[in-house]
Amino acid sequence: MIEVQNLRKSFGRQIVLDGISFSVPRGSTAVVIGGSGTGKSVLLRHINGLLKPEAGQVIVDGVDITQLYEPQLNAFRLRVGMVFQGSALFDSLTVAENVAFALREHTKYSDGKIRTIIREKLHLMGLSDIDDKMPAELSGGMKKRVAIARAIALEPEVMLYDEPTAGLDPRTADSINNLIIKLQETMHATAVAVTHDMASAFKIADRIYMLKDGNFIAEGTADDIRGNGDPDVRKFIGGQAPAEAAVPA
């Protein structure tokens, strides 16, 4: 279970997160929506311990990760699978080497076991016979699938997705949404995704939160959000997100 309690973060004089709180039950998926620059990715980076808040807590399975020192944080991050916007594959490594990266860095698995895991994860993503390809040879959708395969190599308990469908055509984006749902059904990880793609949010979320001006202005199921009468929510889900001041991604 993930619990975010009264989280506050600012950059200079700009308040990005203004004491927000929410919880994600074990095995469920929360999606945070909002316009560009509203702090969605900043929130995600607090959940995996890449940023420290000025106040508040991030509690994962009873442990407040904001109080952990770097060695403890590194151990915690092995339990977290992160899919970055743009996939963030290592350009100089093959597909197989990308998927194997964390396995080679953080386990003592044999080469044979690592190769087996690579095959299993790529197969789960619907990919085969691309082990030796370089990222530059892949389509955007294939890169995203490889990025997810890399993220799940260590069987994480928590999955974090930063704009998982960004830059993809609608058909490819929907295939990624289906993969996210499939992973939740098979791995039962607790997941948080941030996105401005409402088709994705409505499809994968158990609960949706809309972030604006450092606070959640709406939350609920997909049906709750569809029926929300707040003008900012209506404008956003209608495809025209309100303009926001830029904050660090």
Is residue 215 one of the residues assigned to a domain?
yes
Is residue 90 one of the residues assigned to a domain?
no
Task: Give this prediction's pTM.
Answer: 0.91
pLDDT tens-digit series, residues 53-75: 999 999 999 999 999 999 999 99
Is residue 36 one of the residues assigned to a domain?
yes
Is residue 115 one of the residues assigned to a domain?
no
Using 50, 70 and 90 to split pLDDT, how confident is the model at 244? very low
The total number of structural domains that make up the chain? 1
Is residue 118 one of the residues assigned to a domain?
no
Is residue 227 one of the residues assigned to a domain?
yes
CATH of the domain at 14: 3.40.50.300
Q: What are phi and psi of 237, to 5 degrees?
A: -70, -15
The pLDDT value given to residue 35:
87
Both tokens of 23, joined, read 């919880």
Other Cβ atoms within 10 Å of 238 Cβ, number: 9
11 contact partners, CB below 8 Å, separation of at least 6: 247, 248
Is residue 32 one of the residues assigned to a domain?
yes
Residue 168 has pLDDT above 70, yes or no: yes
State what percent of residues in the chain have pLDDT above 70.
96
Residue-range definition of the domain harbouring residue 223: 1-79+189-237
Is residue 8 one of the residues assigned to a domain?
yes
